[in-house]
Amino acid sequence: MGTFIRIIRTYRKTSLFFGLLLLGGIVNAISHFETPLINGILFCIHAAIVSFLIVFWIDSVRERLLPTRARMYIVLSGLVMLGYHLLRVFRYRACKNDLPMYRFTAYLYFIPRVLIPALLLSTALYLSFEDTKIGKRSVRITLLVSGMLSLFVLTNDLHLLVYRPVGDFSDFIIETGKYRWAGGFFAVFGVMLLMLVSSFWLFFRSTKKKTGAVVLSLVGSIALWLFVTLFQVFVLDRFHLPKMFNIPEIDIYSFILVFECCIRSRLIPYNEKYDAFFREMKTPVMITDPDFHVVHRSSSPIDVPEEVLLSVLESPVYLDEDTRLNCTKIRAGYTFWTEDEHDLHEERKRLDSANALLSEENDLIAVENKLREQKARLDAQNRVYARIAAAIFPKQKRIEELLLNTTPDDSAFAAELGKVCVLNAYSKRKTNLLLLSEESLPRSNRELFLALSETARFLKCCGVEAAAIGQEYSEIPLRDVHALYDTFETVIEAYFPVAKTMTFSLKPDGIRIAMETNGAPALPETDYAQALPETNSVPRLPETNSAPKLPETNSVPRLPETKLPVRCEESDGVLFFTIRRSGGGEAG
């Protein structure tokens, strides 16, 4: 007993509905007294109870469901149920003695019988397709078919395709034994059954909730409806037994049961107990209808003017420095909620501080990189200067010795000064070549020819008639240019004391020197030189790699190799020297 009372308290509205339902059935079962007044009073009580139950259910649907078209269809079906019940009251209390009207009210029964399944199917179509074109078109077709079927039944007196009289048409009445069903009757009920099956299939398809309990509840509702209807027709009506419910009431309660099964199994979404749920929520949330009337709000309310709510529809609005008001559109209106961004702003401040520190560090790194770049350029320049110093150091040393060992009063001063000029010319041109690189040196250049020309110009200071002739431009690589010029300078320094004339010509593979000397000199043997018979009048040719070496360090690169093959030939008292670059062929 205690469990039963606890269940009633938990489900008060449901318990009240079933209690009134049972009371109405009892009143209807005992309303067969011989006294018309008592029967009338019981009939009115029963009609009032049924009307109250329908209105009570419509109000609960309006309260539980969100204001969508699905709720509109269900509420409309409830109103049709109420009209179905009132039509029965009118038929049995106002038209009992008017045969045509009594028969026509039986035809009117088919309007709610067809329209209620059509509204159930419209609800399922809306949940499946919402406001899409196919959903709206399907609802229109469904309602149009239900209207045509109702009109088909209402015009039965013209074609007799639904009900046919057994005897004379003047005695035609929709009572047992006075009519028989025609093919149109079965067609109308077939369409009604098709609407019901389609509705259930769409419910399953749209919500994906194909659990056994849901299927069992829906199938059980339909089975109970059919069983009670058949039991009423073939048992209670045939044997004139007391009955708690009439056929229209069975149809009404069965459809209410079907709708409730769909709602309570959430095939049709509902918001039952959402008020309590929202009252317990600590997060500021508010749900409104399309006109911004509050439907649900949490325990932390959002109290803002309607103008602010309108502005939130376009973009979030900050109510204060740390509170952001958001909005999203839902099917039945809008949802508003706030977010506390205090922690986010604190993190953003810390991030800004970290970014400022990183910016300072990036500036320091940029300055450091700039200093490293400058140091790299200075190191590169120092390496170049070291190479230049290493290359011209021997010549500068000889120039210093020549200038220290002679004076202007000395008879050999002019000759020694000429040697200084030749050495200075080499130092200058060697420096220019060391300042070049393979990338900066053009493919076709005249650097080597200019060096030969400058040497020829300063040899005249030594009393030697010298000239550079032939082609000026060549495509000799820079490394070979260094080797050729160093070897050329070594040969010139060894022979200009005994030379009378010199002619230099630049070849694709090296340098050709023609020289007239005093006597019949011979070229002493070197590593790569082919020697002539040695004579006392020809000084020995020093090795071409005999320049003093500086200590090798990381900052002073190794000097390029200057030793190249030197070939010497004599013809009619003229010496011909051929200097070939590495990998070069015979010079012409």
Question: Is residue 382, in this structure, part of any structural domain at all?
Answer: no
Same domain, 322 and 253: no
Torsion region of 230: left, alpha or beta (phi above 0 gives left; psi -120 to 50 gives alpha): alpha
Same domain, 407 and 425: yes
Number of domains in the chain: 3
Calculate the CA dihedral of residues 369, 372, 377, 380 and round it to 10 degrees. Answer: -140
Q: Do 516 and 574 meet the contact criterion of CB atoms below 8 Å apart?
A: yes
What is the 3-class SS of 235-260, one letter each residue?
HHCCCCCCCCCCHHHHHHHHHHHHHH
Supply the pLDDT for residue 545.
Answer: 42
* 93 and 185 both lie in a single domain: yes
Rounded CA gap, 501 and 459, in Å? 9
- For residue 350, being part of any structural domain is answered with no
Alpha-carbon span 179 to 107, nearest angstrom: 13
Percent helix, strand and coil across the chain, each rounded to 5? 60, 10, 30
Return all residues near 546 (Cβ < 8 A) that are at least 6 apart. 490
Q: 260 and 283: one domain?
A: no
Residues 213, 149: one domain? yes
Q: Tell me which residue of 547, 539, 550, 545 sits closest to 575, measured CA to CA.
A: 539
Kind and range of the H or E element at 163? strand 163-165
Alpha carbons within 13 angstroms on the beta-carbon side of residue 562 total 20
SS3 558: coil
Give the 3-state DSSP-derived string for 452-521, with helices as H, strands as E and coil as C.
HHHHHHHHHHHCCEEEEECCCCECCCHHHHHHHHHHHHHHHHHHCCCEEEEEEEEECCEEEEEEEECCCC
User: Where a domain ends, among 255, 272, 289?
Assistant: 272
Q: With respect to residue 370, please indicate whether it lies within any of the assigned structural domains.
A: no
Residues 117 and 244 in one domain: yes
Residue 163 corresponds to which tokens in the numbers above?
């009900």
> Based on the domain organization, do 212 and 302 belong to the same domain?
no
Residue partners of 505: CB distance under 8 A and separation at least 6: 468, 469, 470, 511, 512, 514
Here the CATH number for the domain that contains residue 166 is 1.20.1070
In a domain, residue 402? The reply is yes
Provide the β-strand partners of residue 512: 505, 578
My answer on whether 203 and 100 are in the same domain is yes
What range does the domain containing 520 cover? 387-580
The DSSP output letter for 540 is P
The residues, ordered by sequence, that sit 6+ positions from 479 with a Cβ below 8 Å of its Cβ are 438, 560
267 and 307 in a single domain? The answer is no
Give the residue from 583, 433, 577, 430 showing the smallest Cα distance to 514: 577
Residue 67, SS3 per DSSP: coil
Q: Final residue of a domain: which of 340, 356, 375? A: 340
The verdict on residue 369 lying in a domain is: no
Beta partners for residue 312, in sequence order: none
Global pTM value: 0.51
Domain-located, residue 140? yes
In a domain, 54, yes or no: yes
Q: Which residues does 568 contact at the CB level (< 8 Å), separation at least 6?
A: 523, 529, 530, 531, 532, 575, 576, 577, 578
Q: Which residues contact 511 (CB under 8 A, 6 or more apart)?
A: 448, 452, 484, 488, 504, 505, 578, 579, 587
* Beta bridge mates, 89: none
Task: Tell me the H-state helices in 208-301.
Answer: 212-231, 247-264, 274-280
Let me know whether 240 and 125 are in one domain: yes
Residue 398: what residue type?
R
Query: pLDDT tens-digit profile of 11-22?
Result: 788 888 889 999
Average pLDDT, consecutive stretches of 10 residues, N- to C-terminus, the chain (588 residues): 65 84 90 80 91 93 83 93 91 78 88 92 88 89 94 91 84 79 91 89 69 76 86 84 87 90 78 65 84 82 85 88 88 85 88 90 90 86 82 83 80 80 86 82 87 89 87 87 88 84 90 81 43 37 40 37 74 87 56
Per-residue pLDDT tens digits for 497-553: 888 899 999 988 889 999 888 754 555 443 333 333 333 333 444 444 433 333 333
Alpha carbon distance 426, 403 (integer Å):
17
Q: Name the β-bridge partners of 574.
A: 516, 571
Last-in-domain residue among 272, 287, 317: 272
pLDDT tens string 456-472: 888 888 888 899 998 88
Q: Please state, in angstroms and as integers, the Cα–Cα distance from residue 240 to each residue in 26, 34, 40, 176, following that order.
A: 16, 16, 20, 12
Q: Which residues of 527-564 are buried (b: 16+ CB within 10 A; e: fewer)?
A: eebeebeeeeebeebeebbebeeeeeeeebeebbebbb
Residue 564 lies in a domain: yes
Distance CA 219, CA 345 (A): 57
140/23 same-domain check:
yes
Same domain, 258 and 284: no
